[in-house]
Amino acid sequence: MIRPELGWELVSEAHVQSEVGPLRTVLLHRPGTELKRLTPRNSDQLLFDAIPWVDRAQEEHDAFAEVLRSRGVEVLLLRELLTETLCDARARAAAVLSSVDELRVGTDIADTLRSHLSSVDQSTLAEILIAGMTFEELPAAEGQSLVRRMHHPHDFAIDPLPNLLFTRDSSMWVGDRVAIAALAMPARRRESALTDLVYAYHPRFSRSARAYGAHSAPVEGGDVLLLAPGVVAIGVGERTTPAGAESFARSMFADNLAHTVLAVPIEQRRASMHLDTVCTMVDRDAVVMYPAVQHSLQAYTMRPLDGEFAVSGPTPFLTAAAEAMGIDHLRVIDTGLDPVTAEREQWEDGNNTLAVAPGVVVAYERNAETNARLEDAGIEVLRISGSELGSGRGGPRCMSCPIVRAALSR
Ligand SMILES: NC(=[NH2+])NCCC[C@H](N)C(=O)O
């Protein structure tokens, strides 16, 4: 991709340069036992709004994966990759180290747990890393332990990761580089330790170059939209911080992965936790967007300048995006909805679509009005059911991390 007027040329081979290039390979996580850990007492802290029916959630997820496969997409499953990764002794050691929190369980249990985790086979270890472990599940040990006696048997010695389902957030590919997210919420932080391991030690990925870094200021994949080759939008709100957006932009410029980064302030509340909850791309020049933000969304535009960067704005997001993308205007599919329907469907991830090709998106079937408007605008909508999957507040885009997309033809 060459934009001579910006003095910019994409140097890397294509992996993921856009939101809509034909999807070739995607990372999903089929939910499992970790969802069975959710109770009305812990669901708020674990960022779920309801208690999912796990068998049905798995059926829905299998159907989602099948829709993608039927469109020629290679579906990689995180649990399988993690299990394969743990064959590597270095990965196993790092996994054990990052999952045992000595300050929570005390030194005695920490020792017992570490030696237990080092001795189990890799699929058992992968299961524990994902589903966590309660105090009653801890291996038996000699001697007295105040920690064991005082903790409730159902307290977590290792937290479960129910939000691993949302693979979009814990890592993201830009060009040929993978960025491991720095997740903002305590309930999700350990997720990126797992994606980090997979990308570091799985034979398929171990040579992949990195961008950004898990120990930087918070940036979550749900906030990062690749509007066009070289143009990245980053939502800044409940999760991604201004410092996160700034250092992510620096990393993009340093690796020549972007010529423009738009930092887009979004309301700091649960309904709009990420930019992709209010806006996703459905075609090379079109987005579906929550009508309530269409006219108010703003963007700060960042461009590299003499080894540093320049910031301008804020200006209206749609104008700034079109200008950076080099198009006359960014089409907003007008969902034309009354405010109550729009609010209901936004909450249920109606705006959170996953493009498998330009003009072809996967969406939750329940958002009937939004889907009908998308079809009126010529977008093909592949409907999936998500009554259980959606209880964690995430749609098809959140549940997928594209690893390879074909380049967009001009
Ligand atoms: N990209 C997204 N919108 N992800 C949705 C993540 C939902 C998850 N329960 C959380 O609160 O973090």
Mutate to test the pocket of ligand 1, among 51, 223, 273, 346 (most ligand atoms within 8 A of CB): 273
Instruction: Specify the residue with its C-alpha closest to ligand 1, atom 4.
Output: 398
Residue 268 has pLDDT above 90, yes or no: no
All CATH 1.10.3930.10 domain ranges of the chain, comma separated, are: 80-158
Torsions phi, psi of 202, nearest 5?
-70, 130
State the complex-level ipTM: 0.98
Instruction: State residue 122's pLDDT score.
Output: 97
Nearest ligand 1 atom, CA 168: 1
Ligand 1 centre from 371 Cα, in Å? 21
Q: How far apart are CA 365 and CA 371, in angstroms?
A: 8
All CATH 3.75.10.10 domain ranges of the chain, comma separated, are: 14-78+162-405
Ligand 1 centre from 235 Cα, in Å? 13
Mutate to test the pocket of ligand 1, among 45, 169, 223 (most ligand atoms within 8 A of CB): 169
Average pLDDT over residues 143-164: 94
111 contact partners, CB below 8 Å, separation of at least 6: none
Q: Ligand 1 — pocket residues by CB below 6 A?
A: 47, 163, 166, 168-169, 185, 188, 222, 273-274, 276-277, 392-394, 398
Ligand 1 centre from 181 Cα, in Å? 13
Torsions phi, psi of 277, nearest 5?
-85, -15
Instruction: State residue 335's pLDDT score.
Output: 67
Alpha helices by DSSP H, listed for 171-232, are 189-201
Average pLDDT over residues 398-407: 96
Nearest ligand 1 atom, CA 349: 3
Average pLDDT over residues 25-30: 98
Residues 112-140 have pLDDT tens digits of 999 999 999 999 999 999 999 999 999 98
Instruction: State residue 292's pLDDT score.
Output: 86
Q: How far apart are CA 386 and CA 393, in angstroms?
A: 10
Mutate to test the pocket of ligand 1, among 51, 166, 240, 399 (most ligand atoms within 8 A of CB): 166
- Peptide bond between residue 218 and the one before it cis (omega within 30 degrees of 0): no
Q: Is the Cβ–Cβ distance between 17 and 68 less than 8 Å?
A: no
Ligand 1 centre from 128 Cα, in Å? 22
Ligand 1 centre from 398 Cα, in Å? 7
Nearest ligand 1 atom, CA 223: 1
**Does 3.75.10.10 match the CATH number of domain 14-78+162-405?**
yes
Nearest ligand 1 atom, CA 273: 3
Nearest ligand 1 atom, CA 222: 1
Instruction: State residue 86's pLDDT score.
Output: 97
Residues 223-248 have pLDDT tens digits of 999 999 999 999 999 999 999 999 99
Instruction: Specify the residue with its C-alpha closest to ligand 1, atom 10.
Output: 47
User: Known catalytic residues?
Assistant: 398
DSSP letter at 392 equals G
Instruction: State residue 157's pLDDT score.
Output: 97
Residue 127, SS3 per DSSP: helix
What is the pTM (predicted TM-score) of this model?
A: 0.95
Calculated CA dihedral for residues 360, 366, 370, 371, nearest 10 degrees? 30
Q: Which residue has the tokens 């309904």?
A: 271
Ligand 1 centre from 166 Cα, in Å? 6
Residues 98-108 have pLDDT tens digits of 999 999 999 99
CATH of 80-158, one of 1.10.3930.10, 3.20.20.10, 3.90.1150.10, 2.60.40.1180: 1.10.3930.10
Q: Is the Cβ–Cβ distance between 1 and 10 less than 8 Å?
A: yes
Mutate to test the pocket of ligand 1, among 37, 163, 189, 272 (most ligand atoms within 8 A of CB): 163
Q: What percentage of the chain reaches a pLDDT higher than 70? A: 96
The CA–CA distances, whole Å, from 281 to 267, 288, 363, 373 equal 20, 6, 12, 14
Q: Which residue has the tokens 């830009």?
A: 174
Residue 338: pLDDT band by 50, 70, 90 thresholds? confident
Sign of CA pseudo-dihedral 195, 275, 372, 325:
negative
Ligand 1 centre from 320 Cα, in Å? 26
Instruction: State residue 303's pLDDT score.
Output: 97
Instruction: State residue 60's pLDDT score.
Output: 98
Residue 267 has pLDDT above 90, yes or no: no
